Amino acid sequence: MTRPSTEDLDRIVALAHADPHRVLGPHLEDGRLRLRVFRPAASAVWIRWGEEDAESAQPMMRLHAGGIFELHCDVDELPDPKAYRVELRDGPTASLSHDPYAFWPTLGDLDVHLMGEGKHRLLHHILGAHARVHQDVEGTAFAVWAPEAKRVSLVGDFNGWDGHSHAMRRLGSGVWEIFAPDVLEGALYKFEVWKSDGELIVKADPLGRQMQLRPSNATQVTVSRHPWDDAPWIERRAASEPSQRPMSIYEVHLGSWRHRDGPQQHADRPNWLGYRELADELVDYVADLGFTHIEIMPVMEHPFDGSWGYQVGGFYAPTSRYGTPDDFRALVDRCHQRDIGVIIDWVPAHFPKDAFALGRFDGTALYEHLDPRKGEHRQWGTYVFNYGRNEVRNFLIANALYWLDEFHVDGLRADAVASMLYLDYAAERPADWAPNEYGGRENLEAIAFLRELNDAVHERFPGALVIAEESTAWPGVTRGTATGGLGFDFKWNMGWMHDTLAYFAKDGVFRSYHHQLLTFGLLYAFSERFVLPLSHDEVVHLKKSLL
């Protein structure tokens, strides 16, 4: 390998190099080993080999005034990453760390290729943060998709939130990667993204599996240690047909179901019950009432309590309001031990515009559609996913599979499906929406996405449910994809709900004149496989209680 040019060194200092590993770390050049590190705040840097003491450490020479240091060694092979550490001295104390630029990539070419094709069903295994041992050194592998970024750095509580320490390298398909040695479970981190226009933005990890409690929004390195005890339930579920099982669902919002007694302990949160407390109280309550399933309103991390979770900021993270991811696993496990299935509300239709989240992630319309007529839901003030982009479909389908796999949930209720199916959904003027390639209002990309989603779930998780909240008369919602349907297992019967509640809201004296509200549903009752809901939407916005 030839020595880096002055331009390469300048780009490292300016944090503008897309492959800092090509310059920094150990390299064989002209038959000699050269070690380079970038420490702009250091006045001097040493390399300590093996378990040698400080006196035997070798000083590095300054190669660039911006903070690049170099050491020449008379050896003709690359050292293992564990063979040396970088030493910084501050008076009598010294800090030692392994070199993040001494490690091979943690992602393979096949992983990157499958992601670009939109076919990597285990996306959470390659992107995000994964504590692991890599080349015999303990640390965490980080990877993020940001194809239009000029540079991405890992920042966190382990490097003073400074983007100089862990600039990432760009792999194929717009993926940026780095292995951060000595960064362990519990570390807080974000990604510092340098947009194409030179502006720096800081983003939470789209595949972060644990996040801080709002209003903080950093992502946290987490490791699962939950010992599952629900194998008999999973086996019975896989051997049965969902439409042939009795099903009575208890819908619940975990934050409002029940609070702890006594004064509020924290000013920034009510006395919520945690996941493990809910496992003790909620599960018994639901079992005693005879329900077969619990449907949990969105448990994914979200910044605003008032959204109930329907404006998701962390699609891969159970909300930290009630505990850790393993605490949520314990709740699901307890449900299964009591023969209660768990359905979670899942929100593939839109996401919020909060600066830390998915919106304009790399400075461009990445997860959302570039055309605001397709990429924004004006009524809700949110972005709409770009279902025509391979990586975005991959992100969502892998997310659905992640909850079924990692948390053993038994089903998903897809929220706001109607808003996905129609390009003119909630449009007030013709100029507010753009027709499809045939001039129609059907969102062909969303239709293809929903079919692919349902096929993937049913292929990988036999017996798992996918339920559509679809409020129109779209045909074939629960018909199989092979015969032109969307492939859902069930559809919420919103018409039955509205007609039934309208009937019972009338004075008993006048109900005899409105029996059509009860009989009309039979005209379409067998056109789909329906779930009859009494939804949370019917007890809000001044609609009063059902009781």
- Kindly state whether residue 508 falls inside one of the protein's structural domains: no
- Kindly state whether residue 519 falls inside one of the protein's structural domains: no
* pLDDT exceeds 90 at position 134: yes
* pLDDT confidence bin for 267, thresholds 50/70/90: low
* pLDDT confidence bin for 494, thresholds 50/70/90: confident
Token look-up 């004006």 returns 378
In the listed set 188, 220, 252, which residue is the last one of a domain according to the structure? 220
Asked if residue 517 lies in contact with residue 498, where contact means CB atoms within 8 angstroms, the answer is no
Same domain? 245 vs 361: yes
* pLDDT exceeds 70 at position 426: yes
Question: 309-367 pLDDT, tens per residue?
Answer: 889 999 999 999 999 999 999 999 999 999 999 999 999 999 999 999 999 999 999 99
Same domain? 452 vs 325: yes
Same domain? 480 vs 417: yes
- Kindly state whether residue 21 falls inside one of the protein's structural domains: yes
Tell me if residue 469 is catalytic.
yes
In the listed set 53, 70, 102, which residue is the last one of a domain according to the structure? 102
- Number of separate domains in the chain: 3
The span from the CA of 474 to the CA of 528, in Å, is: 10
Same domain? 207 vs 116: yes
Tell me if residue 455 is catalytic.
no
Same domain? 284 vs 421: yes
Same domain? 533 vs 392: yes
CATH number at residue 432: 3.20.20.80
Given 415, 452, 499, 528, the catalytic residue: 415
Same domain? 267 vs 121: no
Mean pLDDT (whole number) for 247-275: 83
- Kindly state whether residue 130 falls inside one of the protein's structural domains: yes
Which positions ≥6 away from 290 have C-beta within 8 Å?
248
3-state SS string for 204-265: CCCCCCCECCCCCCCEECCCCCCCCCCHHHHHHHHCCCHHHCCCCEEEECHHHHCECCCCCC
Given 99, 410, 469, 470, the catalytic residue: 469
Lowest mean pLDDT across 47-61, 154-168, 239-253, 422-436: 47-61
Domain range enclosing 237: 231-493+528-539
How many angstroms from the chain centroid is the CA of residue 318?
Answer: 9
Question: 18-31 pLDDT, tens per residue?
Answer: 999 999 999 998 77
308 vs 486, more confident:
486
CATH number at residue 95: 2.60.40.10
* pLDDT exceeds 80 at position 542: no
- Kindly state whether residue 506 falls inside one of the protein's structural domains: no
Beta-bridge partners for 301:
314
Same domain? 43 vs 121: no
Same domain? 465 vs 383: yes
- Kindly state whether residue 501 falls inside one of the protein's structural domains: no
Kindly give the residue spans of alpha helices, DSSP state H, lying in 269-409: 275-289, 325-337, 372-375, 390-406
The span from the CA of 164 to the CA of 181, in Å, is: 16
Task: Measure Cα distances from 203 to 22, 225, 363 in Å.
Answer: 25, 27, 11
- Kindly state whether residue 388 falls inside one of the protein's structural domains: yes
In the listed set 102, 120, 137, which residue is the last one of a domain according to the structure? 102
Element (H, E) at 418: helix 417-421
Same domain? 131 vs 242: no
